[in-house]
Structure 1
Amino acid sequence: MSKASRSGTFQVSYEAIVSPSVRQSEGSHARAFAEAQPFRHVVIDDFLESAFADELLREFPAFENGNYIGDDGRPGGKSTVDAMPQLGPAYRRLDEVIQTPEFLAYIGRITGIEGLLYDPFYLGGGTHENRNGQPLSAHIDFNYHPSERWHRRLNLIVYLNREWQADWGGLLELYRDPYADPQPSVRVTPLFNRCVIFETTESSWHGFDPIRLPADRPDLSRKSIALYFYTKDRPAEETAARHTTHYVNRQLPEHFSAGHTLTESDVATLRELISVRDSHMKNLYEENGRLLQAQDKGFAGHILYLMKRLYVRYRRRISASR
């Protein structure tokens, strides 16, 4: 099957972008997904055709061209772009392929989830770039599409980092329960053309540890493409009331115990954790104050506040993973 695009005529079938070796291993990937802990997931190396992955990296947007403004209104260490089809021919091709019934059925066979739906708005998804020092706290994702009555079911992340070492941080971390156990069960290095697919549930806790790049490599950053998929229904026992992304702040490192002498690095860690918690509490107090003030202004003011709140949450704070 082929289709004309603004970049020419090309094959739209997922077979044109997913590498042959990956397609031939569909059964083993399905088994790995079904058996994985702490929740269903699979890690697939060399996921895309190598030339296509190269094109995606070449067209990856500059940090300053994305949304890099934090919750506090100031520039932050993360930049996202959700208008992927506008980034170039490779991203238009990716967009056209992932919405085809063939690609959705292929991902459905790996995950055992039928009736998958593509999100044309890439809400929370798209390209993600994180700079040195940036972490992503453990969290579960928002569980319904913001504008549709769709259940969020899967995250698919493709990493585009030609150079990455495990000791640089930024590793995808999967948790059983970060409240009960702050240590991740699985850690995945974000290597080039590595794909991670995981189920989105009320217990699919994930994040990544702070990025710690070498001092002589300030040019590096953590790059990925995040795709989210939905279904119109899901099993009743897995269904929960609508909620936004639920974060858990990082806990103290295990070596912080009685008798331990703090190092400069330890002090920096403490200051960072306290700063994050202070910022979180400040945001909650300010949000509560805005809600009370909106209530004082009557029903119309309350509706306006809620609309602004949804905009901020879905355009800046909701980011899934990766």
Structure 2
Amino acid sequence: MQGSTGTSIINPAVMGKLAEYCQEFVSAPPFPHVVIEDFFAPDFAQALLDTFPAFERGNAVAESGELGGKSTVDKVRSLGAAYAQLDDAIKSPEFLQAVGELTGIDGLIYDPWYLGGGTHENRDGVALDPHVDFNYHPSERWHRRLNLIVYLNPNWGEDWGGNLELFRDPHVDSRPSRSVSPVFNRCVIFETSEVSWHAFDTIRVPPGHEGTTRRSVALYFYTKDRPAEQTASRHTTYYVKRQLPDHFHEGRTLSRSDVAEIRHLLDIRDSHIRQLYAENTALRKAQDRGLTGHLLYLAKRAYVRFRR
């Protein structure tokens, strides 16, 4: 298997430990996952880094015309030979079988559209709130089963932030159960489910490293079926705002930085509430338009009058 086209991009040392990684995956708290060092063959990982797309090439431009803090590219084959090789590999039966052996999940399906996946790049100051991902493919009847992320950040400092965080329950836990630094050629594979809460903390690039960004390749895999006890109604990505850090406790005297931190957290939560209200308003407007909206209006009117 190691010499096949599909798995030649994987480090041979990783291929020799699939059963061992599977044991780690299925038993890891807070939900099934595994962290693998030097996942890709060294030359291949370097080729991905060398031809990683410029930030401006991705979808980072906001409606205002300004660049935001996150850029993604999902047209992977357009990024050159190394990324075309990646695309060829991950859709091959050999690669899908290897990842299936590594996780214990059979029948994996590759997403040819890389919806939500592809190259990801985040700038200094960016963070990602705890969330569970959308659970079905947006256009197919496939269950989302795995996220496979490989980081492409040489010389990344442990205290630079951008750490992948895995939570048991972010509604009550202020700290993640596990935090993983996004260092070069480190791979994290985790099962996507209704409890696979994950995030990354704020990127804080130190002076002297201005312009350094957090880079990764994100690959998502699906299956046609999944166990009934793990199946839920279709939903989009569901976010939870972070809890107050543990250092805020009864009797603490707030410093100026404490107040700034609390205000920042409240601003984030208020922004999220405004976004939800805006989405609700947009849905109601769409609902009120057209024949369906008119019929719904008549039905509501009849119901209210009938109740009297």
TM-score normalised by length of structure 2: 0.90
Q: 1:217 aligns with which of 204, 209, 227?
A: 209
Q: Does 1:266 align with 2:258?
A: yes
Q: 2:20 aligns with which of 18, 28, 34?
A: 28
Residue 115 of structure 2: aligned partner: 123
SS in structure 2 at match of 1:85? helix
Paired AA for residue 185 in structure 1? S
Give me the CA root mean square deviation.
1.9
Structure 1 CA distance, aligned partners of 2:26 and 2:65?
41
SS in structure 2 at match of 1:14? coil
Q: 2:147 aligns with which of 155, 168, 179?
A: 155
Paired AA for residue 275 in structure 1? D
Structure 2 CA distance, aligned partners of 1:290 and 1:170?
33
Residue 283 of structure 1: aligned partner: 275
Aligned 8 A contact 1:81 1:126 in 2: yes
Paired AA for residue 200 in structure 1? T
Task: State the 4+ residue runs in structure 1 displaced beyond 3 angstroms.
Answer: 69-75, 299-302
Paired AA for residue 15 in structure 1? T
Residue 195 of structure 2: aligned partner: 203
Q: 2:71 aligns with which of 33, 55, 79?
A: 79
Aligned 8 A contact 1:12 1:97 in 2: no
TM-score normalised by length of structure 1: 0.87
Aligned 8 A contact 2:173 2:243 in 1: no
Residue 183 to residue 282, structure 1, CA distance change in 2 (3 Å): same
Q: CA deviation at 1:269?
A: 1.9
Q: Counterparts of 1:37-76 in structure 2 under 5 Å?
A: 37-69=29-61, 75-76=67-68
Q: Which ranges of structure 2 fall in alignment gaps of 5 or more residues?
A: 295-308
Paired AA for residue 28 in structure 1? E
Structure 1 CA distance, aligned partners of 2:228 and 2:62?
36
Paired AA for residue 224 in structure 1? S
Q: Which ranges of structure 1 fall in alignment gaps of 5 or more residues?
A: 2-10, 303-322
Identity of aligned residues (%): 59
Residue 227 of structure 2: aligned partner: 235
Aligned 8 A contact 1:171 1:187 in 2: yes
Of the two, which has the highest radius of gyration? Answer: 2
SS in structure 1 at match of 2:219? strand
Residue 310 of structure 1: aligned partner: none
Residue 43 to residue 142, structure 1, CA distance change in 2 (3 Å): same
Paired AA for residue 138 in structure 2? P
Residue 185 of structure 1: aligned partner: 177
Residue 27 to residue 139, structure 1, CA distance change in 2 (3 Å): same
Q: CA deviation at 1:94?
A: 0.1
Q: CA deviation at 1:72?
A: 8.7
Q: CA deviation at 1:268?
A: 3.0
Q: CA deviation at 1:299?
A: 4.2
Aligned 8 A contact 2:146 2:220 in 1: yes
Aligned 8 A contact 1:173 1:185 in 2: yes
